[in-house]
Amino acid sequence: MSSFERICYIHKKIQNSKAVSYQDVKSNFKISLRQFRRDLAKLRSCGAPIHFLKEKNAYGYTYPFDDFDFIEEKNLLFFTFLEGVSKNRSYLPFVVENVLNSLRDKLLPNRYKKLLSHISYECEEYIPFKMNEFKIFIEGMMERKQIKIKYRNSKGIVSKRTVEPLYLMCYASQWYFIAYDCQKKDIRTFHSGRIEEAILTEEYFKSYIRDDKLKKYIEDTFGIYKSDKVKKVKARFYEPAYYNVLGQVWHKDEKKIEGTHPEYGKYIEIEIPVGDYGEVIGKVLRFTPYSEILEPENLRQEWLNRLRESTEKFS
């Protein structure tokens, strides 16, 4: 049995019985007192408020501690995700089998290992990752050197850019580079699949982007394409789309309102901060004809135009 299994047992025992003794653990795991104390120390290092209960000759918590609740189930999902991602060459160039085996033994109790053949994580559609580009961007970030790229935008137009790489992100199974665009003099997001060429230069960064500004750029708005010009977007989803959207989280700062329409039934209204309209339009169109963009008005008109264009083109 791994120390992780023992720690989970200790936590559950305290949660259920308010105390755990060395004899409790020894009878289940056949360990020494020294090992038991090491397990307590590990649990304490994770923030558990362990203290000795003299009257019971056992250990308990000084206040409620729930960080380890469902920890085995969380680890099962984490390992399934890790194993699924590692099998996709778009994410990793090779699979280190012994690393996965080691993690499996450390993270999962035997009864959960049996479930691995019945749980999987499948990646969505993806563009194969170009490791040479990844290497160039990583070197650029580490050495703070500019990179010259040829980039094809969503309309197929190719342009030459000089960028200062800041961040690498996997979003919806697609890889993106976030960089300071020296021509635009602002932070931009580049889809890795549209980079046709990348060359590391000997020129060092000429801009200075603070970590807090980069964090704000990444986290403040919905979607992958960002902007410091944040707009509030409001969309509504009617039955049956209502049931799909109800449990989804689109952004950490979203606001939701539920209601009932006299003709369309239940609906949920979502307000999110958006930096780029393109992705949110596509998201709402996925639920057509049971969705609509309400605000702002210019975005609503753009959404309606997309619907008209599609109808005229294919009807």
pLDDT at res. 93: 47
pLDDT at res. 1: 60
DSSP 199: E
Burial of 99 (0-12, 13-18, 19+ CB in 10 A): exposed
**CA-CA distances (angstroms) from residue 167 to 13, 152, 195?**
43, 19, 15
Single pTM value for the model: 0.71
Q: Where are the domains of the chain?
A: 3-61, 71-118, 131-219, 231-314
Q: In which element (H, E) is residue 159 found?
A: strand 158-171
The backbone torsions φ and ψ at residue 301, rounded to the nearest 5 degrees and listed phi first, read: -65, -40
pLDDT at res. 236: 97
pLDDT at res. 91: 54
* Chain position carrying tokens 């982007």: 209
Give per-residue pLDDT as tens, 37-67: 999 999 999 899 999 999 999 999 999 998 8
Whole-number Å distance between alpha carbons of 18 and 91: 44
- Alpha-helical regions (H) of the chain: 3-17, 22-29, 33-45, 71-86, 97-107, 110-113, 131-143, 211-219, 241-245, 277-285, 297-314
Low-confidence ranges of the chain (pLDDT < 70): 1, 87-96
User: Does a cis peptide bond (omega within 30 degrees of 0) precede residue 240?
Assistant: yes
What topology does CATH give the domain 3-61?
A: Arc Repressor Mutant, subunit A (1.10.10)
pLDDT at res. 253: 93
Write the DSSP string, 70-100: THHHHHHHHHHHHHHHHT-TTT-SS--HHHH
- Taking domain 231-314, whether its CATH number is 3.10.20 is answered by no
CATH class assigned to 131-219: mainly beta
